[in-house]
Amino acid sequence: MSTLSTPRRPAEPLTCGAEGPVLVGIAPLTFDDVVAVARLDAPVTLDAAALDGVESTRRIIDALASDPAGHYGISTGFGALATTYIDPDRRTQLQRSLIRSHAAGSGPEVEREVVRALMLLRLSTLMSGRTGVRPVVVETYAALLNAGITPVVSEYGSLGCSGDLAPLAACALAVMGEGRVRDATGALIDAAVALDAAGIAPVQLAEKEGLALINGTDGMLGMLVLALADLHVLLQTADVAAALSVEALLGTAAVFAADLQQLRPQLGQGDSAANLRALLSDSPLVASHAGPECTTIQDAYSLRCSPQVHGAARDTAAHAALVASRELASTIDNPVVTLDGRVESNGNFHGAPIAYVLDFLAIAVADVASISERRIDRHLDVSRSKGLPPFLAAEVGVDSGLMIAQYTAAGIVSELKRLAAPASVDSIPSSAMQEDHVSMGWAAARKLRRSIDGLTRVLAIEVMTATRSLDLRAPLQPGPATAAVLGVVRTVVDGPGPDRHLSPEIEAVYDLVRYGSITDAAASVTKGLK
């Protein structure tokens, strides 16, 4: 599994592995390549040898185009119209009509980083030399990415089979100089205007090229890679949040001992427990009740079983990363030009492998948020918080403290449980029953993005709550790692006191979580986190 880096603010420098341009060609893209281009606007360059292969394969398509016998995608219609022969003088119109008709998305705009990811991944497949497009097509795709031109892609339009059709068609439309795009400044303008301003000539598509531009799993794969980058940070943050809660709620670190964890050698669990041991090391708060006088026999599950839940989510992410890495090494098109020069129909565009793991991740995300919310609630309940004031309020009765912050977390967790319902089981037939089983991978990816945002917010509320509890334990002090986290939180949120407007504070800590400031603070003491 490639090392995934913290998502950084757009204005920050490139820090995610690929310094400078990302080379697109024979070697598969890495996770870091996708993050760099999608989020950090890293430029792309095209491998010269791979471009030669693109040109060589195109000669095969040109030869088949002159064959009086029909060849799917070259001289025939598409989908249920695959048996309809198209005369040579109508094929340019055929390709143009294919893209225009398939750019049928609807709904809100998809995020810029998602569109850039799917364009990069489509470019990677085009550069494989297995799709039959001309070099000018790949060069124009690369030019759009490097100019910061982002086609407007709508929320709805992909069933996750036969490719992410409507989203990819919206991108192909921009390559043709049609439709609407966002330029590098974010302005919404006509594609023709944006291309002209960037000195990019629109492409008139030739035989096979329309299909090659839309038959891919690029949208769902791009969102999977971005989700894995986010989860790399969030699952570490979950360990930090749990450590804060264990410490502030006078829990024990003994249950995280290495020998106990080795009795169940699940990899993710072991890594999570190792983080908790490091985070709670040398904590005066933990030591304050570690003697025989402590009457607590066992901590609640939400504290004691944190490594088991967080670890299971880590293992799920590791499996998803394996699937994603295989997909990054794949060539997805239909028909595809084989290494020995055949042009063959296939079903590799079906998104089931990606759709399943996107759904798996949504389940894991919901559960990590769920256990975090239970820890939040323990801080606020005077019957379970071991001496903390009700709702961590400054003046009980007059102040409500963090009561409603827990409501917010609970509402998000309830939403995440609904989003955990799998999209991939909800196939619906299309194209006159020719495409009678689809993956719904795009839908699975869209809901996972919402789920990850929800998890980020729940963890932020736990961090905010637990750090207030730590302050209220004074004069007892937290350990070095949790104290570092407390310190960074106090740069954006004040400590305990009378009630104040909480929404801005939640958003401020949300940004700390999202951009890795919480994990950075902890790792600066522990010398890294697993």
Longest dimension (CA), the chain: 91
Q: Which residue has the tokens 């919404």?
A: 188
The secondary element (H helix, E strand) that includes residue 181 is strand 180-182
What would you report as the CA-atom Rg of the chain, rounded to the nearest whole angstrom?
26
What is the DSSP secondary-structure string of 256-272? Answer: G-HHHHHTS--HHHHHH
> 3-state DSSP call for residue 71?
coil
The first and second tokens of residue 331, run together, are 């060539």
Instruction: With CA atoms as reference, report the closest residue to 517 among 5, 1, 6, 4.
Output: 6
Counting runs of H as helices and runs of E as strands, what totals does the chain give? 20, 9
- Residue 435 pairs in a beta bridge with 430
Question: Is 396 within 8 Å of 388 (Cβ atoms)?
Answer: no
Q: Where in the sequence numbering do the catalytic residues fall? A: 72
CA pair distance 157, 436, nearest whole angstrom:
16
Instruction: Tell me if 372 sits within 8 A of 409, measured CB to CB.
Output: yes
Q: Would strands 343-344 and 336-337 be described as parallel, antiparallel, or unpaired?
A: antiparallel
Give the start-end residues of each E strand in 115-210: 150-151, 154-156, 180-182, 188-190
